[in-house]
Amino acid sequence: MARHNVFGNQGELLAKKYLEEQGYEILDENWRFRKAEIDLIAYKNPIIIFIEVKARENNRFAEPEDFVSKSKQKLLAMAAGEYIHLMDHQNEVRFDIITILFDKFGDPVIRHTEDAFWP
């Protein structure tokens, strides 16, 4: 498996654990609709939260959240719309980004940005 895939998988597991520790209920992982994939879908206080996880070894080139492009945001919104429709969710939704950077000792540093974007 490619190194970036290992970081991605490890990042999603860390993000899931972090969210559960913060009282979020995980509804789905790696949920797909057409060409879009939502890393994590969580629920807390009648809000469904669609979460993009970005894990990187370092931020030498840019911050991890900078890699959530406008086109990626549109894909996430399309998939979220379908999920909301299927779940018949009538309350608020939110799009978050969780970034994980691994420090020089290999320890993860997690940053959770709520309401990171609105596509």
Q: Where are the domains of the chain?
A: 3-113
Class of domain 3-113: alpha beta
d(CA 49, CA 24): 9
d(CA 48, CA 61): 32
Q: For the whole model, what pTM was predicted?
A: 0.88
d(CA 80, CA 70): 15
- Give the per-residue pLDDT at 27: 97
Residues 6+ apart with CB under 8 A from 64: 54, 55, 56, 97, 99, 100, 101
64-81 tens-digit pLDDT: 565 677 889 899 999 999
Higher pLDDT, 59 or 81: 81
The three-class DSSP label of residue 101 is: strand
Mean pLDDT (the chain, rounded): 86
Side chain identity at 41, as an amino acid letter? I
Average pLDDT over residues 83-109: 90
Q: How confident is the model at residue 21 (pLDDT cuts 50, 70, 90)?
A: very high
Higher pLDDT, 84 or 106: 84
CA distances from residue 109 to 26, 29, 100 in whole angstroms, order as listed: 21, 21, 5
**Encoding tokens for residue 47?**
């809000």
H or E segment to which residue 12 belongs: helix 3-21
d(CA 79, CA 51): 12
